[in-house]
Amino acid sequence: METHSVPEYFGELVFDDRQMRARLSSKVYASLRKTIDEGKKLDSKIAEAVASAMKEWALEKGATHFTHWFQPLTGITAEKHDSFITPSPDGSVIMEFSGKELIQGEPDASSFPSGGIRATFEARGYTAWDPTSYAFIKDKTLCIPTAFCSYSGEALDKKTPLLRSMEALNKQALRILKLFGNDTAKYVRTSVGPEQEYFLITKEMYDLRPDLRYTGRTLFGSRPPKGQEMDDHYFGVIKPRVQEFMNDLNQELWKLGILAKTEHNEVAPAQHELAPIYSTTNIATDQNQLMMEIMQKVAAKHGLVCLLHEKPFAGVNGSGKHNNWSMATDTGINLLSPGETPYENAQFLLFLCAVIKAVDDYQDLLRLSVATAGNDHRLGANEAPPAIISVFLGDELSAILDAIENDTPYAGTEKKIMKLGVDILPAFPRDTTDRNRTSPFAFTGNKFEFRSLGSSNSIACANIMLNSVVAESLKIYADRLEGAEDFEKTLHEMIKKTIKDHKRILFNGNGYDDAWVKEATEVRGLCNYRTTPDCMPHILDEKNVKLLTGHKVFTEKEIESRCEIMLENYCKQVRIEANTMMDMALRQILPAIAGYSDKLSETVSSKKSVNASLACSYETDVISKLSVLADQIYTRSGELEKAIIALGSAEDIIAESAAIRDTLLPKMGELRAAADEAETLVSSEYWPYPSYGDMLFSVR
C-alpha cells in the first residue's frame, strides 16, 4: 500500500495560498491577498478568475458539487449542494462555476432561527464568500466558507459578527500601537487555539440509550463502582481502538489543513482531548466546527460514537473547550508577550490592563457568551471553572501590578519604584506561574485561556464578545492618550487607575472553594449567573447594547434576536430532555421494574412452596423498595408532564426559561433520583439500558 508523509498530504483538500499562488495570475493573486491580509474590499473583477481556478482544482480532486458553507444560529453548520454541471446543446454537460456563484448564494432562510428579524413568509437569505477563510473539499463537495444574512441585510449567522468584532479590535489596537511609535503594523488579528474535549463510547451502547440519541446526554444512570477516583485515565496509555480512531482523525484533519497537534486521555473514563495549533480567530472558528463534524464521522467508521455534550455523564468530569486567545500584529508581535525594553513592557501592560478592564466591565457578556443548557450542568462543577468570571494572573505579574498601583518598590527592579516608560520594568519569562485550572480566564505567559466554553459550543460567540469588550477598553485608552499633553505621565496614571478600579476581578486562588463564591459576590460584587436564564437577558442591558452597536458588531435588532434565539434554544433543549425522560420512565423503566419484581415474587412463591417458614428477606425487601420507587417514578413522571404543560402559559421566552430553571429542572432531578436508585436494585438482565460502567469502560 502506498503511503505518503504528512507534509505531502497536509492541506491537500484546501484551496490555500499554495494553490492560489500556483493557479492565479500575479495580479489576481496580489489583489486577493490584499483582501485576505489587510481587509481591503474584494474586487469583484477578480471573482471570475478565482472561481475558474477553484473549480479546476476541485474537479481535479474529484469534486462534483459546490456549496456555500455557513454557520447559522443553530450552533452547527449548514450547506446546500449544487453540482457543477451545466447542460450543453448536444445533450452532454459541461462543468461550470462562475464568479457570481462564488461570491453570493441564495439559500432558503425560512427554517433557520432569526429571533424575529424576518417574518415567516420572508424566506430569502444570502450567503457571501469570506475570502479570509480558505475553501476546502469535503465529501466530493467544494465548500466555500461564507457569511449568512437576511434579505434586509441583518446577520443570521455567527461569522458576520465575528468578523465585525475582529475589525473593531483591529481598529482600536492600531490606534494604540501608533501611540507607541509603531507605524509599520498594518493590522492586528486575534488568534485562537481551541482545545476540544470529547467522550468516545461504542455504537452498540449508544444505540440502546434513547437519551443519548435524542439529547446528547444521559438523563438516567446510577454511578458505577469505579469512576475517575483513581485518576488513572488522565494522560494514561491510549487504548488501541481509541488510538486507531485518533490516527485516522489526524489524517482527515491534516488533509483539511487543520493543525491537530496534541491528543491525550482526559480525566474521566472514555474522555479525551484534541488540541490544535493557533489560527486566526475566524479560521480557527471554521476549523473547530469542521473538526467536530469530522470527529463524529471518523468515530462512526470505528464503531464508536463521539459525544460532544458538555455533561454526557453525571458524576464524572464534563467536557469543555479551552479558548486560548491572543493578539498579534501582521509583523509577528504578540501584544500579550512582555518585551525587553521599557516601552515594550509599558505597551504590554497597557494591553494587559485593557483585557482586565474589559473582563471586569463586561463579566455578564463573557458569561452569557458560553451559556447553553448543556454548559449549565458543567460550570461550577469540580472539573470546570465556576460561573463567576475572574482573571488569574499569577503571583509575579500580580506583584508587578500591585507595585505600580501603590508606587511601591518591586524586588525585580532592585527596589526601584517603577514609572512606565522611565524605569525599566522587569523582564520575566513566559511561564512565571503554575496554571490555575479553576480560573475561567487565566493569563498563561503570552495569552489568555478562557476556560468556560462548553465542548459543543461554537467558539464564535465567546470570541465575538471577547474581541468586542477588549476593543472598547482600547478605544477608551486611545481616546485619552491621543489627547494627552504628557504621554508617559498619562499612560502611567491610566494603568495605575485601571489596576485600582478593576483589581476586584483578579483572583489567583481556588475557584472551587465555597468561600470564593461568598467573597466574589458579597465582598467584591462580581456577577454569579449560574444558569442560562440568569445571564442571557443581560445582553439587552443598556451598557451592553451601547457597546455592541457602538463598535458595529451587532445592530440593536440583531442583539434582540440573539437573546430570543438563545433562550428559545435553551427551552427547546430542556423540553426535549423532559419528554425523553417521561418516555423512558413510562415505557421502559417502569416495565423493567415490574418485570423484575414479578420474577422476585415467583422466587418467593417457589421457595415457600418448598419451605413455608423461609423468610425470603432479600426478595421481599427488594420488592418492597421497588414498589415504593415505582410509585415515585410514576407520580414524578406525571408531575413532570404537568410542569411541561404549564410552560405554555408563560408570557414570553424569558419567563418560560425561568420556569424551566425553577420548576422543570428540579422535577427532572427528582424523577432521575428515583429511577437511578431503582437501577441499583434491578438485575442488569432486566434493566433496559446499558449502565454507566458499561458505557465508560467498554472501549478497549
Strands 321-329 and 141-150: unpaired
Residues 481, 434, single domain; the answer is yes
Residue 559 lies in a domain: no
pLDDT surpassing 90 at residue 399 = no
Residue 588 lies in a domain: yes
Residues of the domain holding 578 = 569-696
pLDDT of residue 1: 39
Residues 593, 634, single domain; the answer is yes
Task: Please state the φ and ψ torsions of residue 202, each to the nearest 5 degrees.
Answer: -75, 150
Q: Residue 461 is part of a domain; what is its CATH number?
A: 3.30.590.10
C-alpha cell at 452: 468556560
- 689 within 8 A of 209, measured Cβ to Cβ: yes
> Three-class SS of residue 328?
strand
pLDDT of residue 425: 54
Q: Which runs of consecutive H residues, i.e. helices, occur in 216-341?
A: 240-255, 281-301
Residues 11, 89, single domain; the answer is yes
For 414, which DSSP code? Answer: T
pLDDT surpassing 60 at residue 463 = yes
Residues 548, 576, single domain; the answer is no
Residue 161 lies in a domain: no
Task: Please state the φ and ψ torsions of residue 484, each to the nearest 5 degrees.
Answer: -80, 140
> Which of residues 156, 181, 203 is at a domain's end?
156
Q: Where are the beta strands (DSSP E) in 441-597?
A: 441-443, 448-450
> Which of residues 104, 133, 156 is at a domain's end?
156
Q: How confident is the model at residue 90 (pLDDT cuts 50, 70, 90)?
A: confident
C-alpha cell at 222: 446510577
Residue 1 lies in a domain: no
Q: Residue 97 is part of a domain; what is its CATH number?
A: 3.10.20.70
Residues 550, 677, single domain; the answer is no
- Give the model confidence (pLDDT) of 520-555 as tens digits: 999 999 999 999 999 999 999 999 999 999 999 999
Q: Is the sign of the CA dihedral 237, 240, 243, 245 positive or negative?
A: negative
Residues 172, 99, single domain; the answer is no
Residue 428 lies in a domain: yes
Rounded to the nearest integer, the mean pLDDT of the chain is: 90
> Which of residues 156, 188, 223 is at a domain's end?
156
Task: Please state the φ and ψ torsions of residue 224, each to the nearest 5 degrees.
Answer: -75, 165
Lookup result for grid cell 505600580:
404
Q: Where are the beta strands (DSSP E) in 382-447?
A: 391-392, 441-443
- Give the model confidence (pLDDT) of 620-630 as tens digits: 999 999 999 99
Within 10 Å of residue 429's Cβ, how many Cβ atoms? Answer: 8
- Give the model confidence (pLDDT) of 417-426 as tens digits: 555 554 445 5
pLDDT of residue 428: 52
Q: Tell me the C-alpha distance between 336 and 348, whole Å.
A: 6
Q: In this structure, which amino acid lies at residue 108?
A: D
Q: Tell me the C-alpha distance between 249 and 247, whole Å.
A: 5
Q: Tell me the C-alpha distance between 257 and 16, whole Å.
A: 9
- Give the model confidence (pLDDT) of 485-515 as tens digits: 999 899 999 999 999 999 999 999 988 888 9
Residue 560 lies in a domain: no
Strands 93-95 and 271-276: unpaired
Strands 391-392 and 441-443: parallel
Q: Residue 620 is part of a domain; what is its CATH number?
A: 1.20.120.1560
Q: Tell me the C-alpha distance between 632 and 621, whole Å.
A: 17
Residue 393 lies in a domain: yes
Residues 534, 579, single domain; the answer is no
- Give the model confidence (pLDDT) of 276-322 as tens digits: 999 999 999 999 999 999 999 999 999 999 999 999 999 999 999 99
pLDDT surpassing 90 at residue 576 = yes
Residues 470, 584, single domain; the answer is no
Residues 206, 66, single domain; the answer is no
Number of structural domains (the chain) is: 3
Q: How confident is the model at residue 157 (pLDDT cuts 50, 70, 90)?
A: very high
**Max CA-CA distance within the chain?**
104
Residues 376, 246, single domain; the answer is yes
386: left (phi over 0), alpha (psi -120 to 50) or beta: beta
Residue 494 lies in a domain: yes
Residues 612, 470, single domain; the answer is no
C-alpha cell at 81: 449542494
- Give the model confidence (pLDDT) of 430-442 as tens digits: 455 556 678 899 9
- Give the model confidence (pLDDT) of 621-671 as tens digits: 999 999 999 999 999 999 999 999 999 999 999 999 999 999 999 999 999
Residues 540, 577, single domain; the answer is no
